Homo-oligomer: A and B are copies of this chain.
Amino acid sequence: MAAFKSALSGNRLLSDNRLDQSGTCMTNTAPDQRSDGLHYIDMRDRVAGRIASGELKPTDKLPSERQLQEEMGLARGTVREGLFQLEAEGLIYRRDRSGWYVSPPPVVYDPTRWEGFISYVEAQGRVPATETMSAETIVADPLLAEVFGRRAGAPLYMIRRRRHVDGRAVLVEQIVVDAALTPDLLRFSFDQSLTEILKSAYGLSVARNVVSMQPCALTGYEAEVLGAKSGLPGLAVQRTSYDAQGRVVEFDREHWRHDAVRISVDTRVR
């Protein structure tokens, strides 16, 4: 019913920045007309309202589940149902056994550009941080051998990092580079920009990116290191970067929290 207006407003994609405003998609906190009788939706709307009004701001802690339960006269399970809704919408997130918090706005990310995470995030007025989880020499399994066009067993470097925005862990990544192109790479610290290292120390720069993205659930290792509950929606990004000679410079797999990122790509059509 003539919903095109609302379809375009309450839009997290349109504005280029900062749009923690109104609501999320279309269900929205909207008027007050709601109260479908669905208790967990009412609960969702009430909390969403507090966020929209600014009563609760990004990174604020919500009242405890038991407080909300009492406050709204519901069973705890129903309260949690409403919280899961809000989490799925990216409005709130949880810290294990600590509580529920209001999500900050997402970071905008263009995986087709060869710019570092750090410059991206800073350009958006946020504070980036990187932790190197591991950096080691590995040998190419058949899969990686194919990616890099080497024999199985060829030496590669693998770096695992965790990245933060404003102190919150938002992604884990695992980068593989060809040891033949980057001798002695492990002498560097990877808490800074790898992009920069590859360019300045090895003269490698990227001419082509092949990127693949898929909504996923964060489970196992990724959920654990992001401090997320297994099953939290996420975004898996895989990037293969080539230089002008067609050599694979970087093979990168990233797992993002779903509420922490917005992908933006600008391309000429071939």
Mark out the residues of chain A between 1 and 49 whose CB falls within 8 Å of any chain B CB in the assembled complex. Answer: 3-5, 7-9, 11-14, 24-28, 41
B8 near A144 with CB under 8 A, answer yes
Cβ contacts under 8 Å, A26 to chain B: 219-222
Known interface pairs A231-B84, A264-B212; A217-B13 also in contact (CB < 8 Å) = no
Contact between B174 and A221 (Cβ–Cβ < 8 Å)? Answer: no
Q: Mark A233-270, 1 if CB is under 8 A from B, else 0.
A: 11110100000000000000100001101111111111
Copies in the complex: 2
Residue A165, interface by CB 8 Å = no
Contacting residue for A112 out of B144, B232, B238, B267, CB 8 A: B267
For chain A, give the interface size range: 35 or more
Chain A residues in contact with chain B, CB under 8 A? Answer: 3-5, 7-9, 11-14, 24-28, 41, 77, 84-85, 88-90, 106, 111-114, 138, 141, 143-144, 158, 174, 206-222, 230-236, 238, 253, 258-259, 261-270
Cα A27 to Cα B231 with chains together (Å): 10
Please measure, in the bound complex, the distance between the C-alpha atom of A13 and the C-alpha atom of B215, giving whole angstroms.
11
Of B85, B90, B207, B222, the contact of A269 (CB 8 Å cutoff): B207
A84 and B80 CA atoms in complex are apart in Å by 14
Expressed in whole angstroms, the minimum distance between the Cβ of A221 and any Cβ of chain B is 5
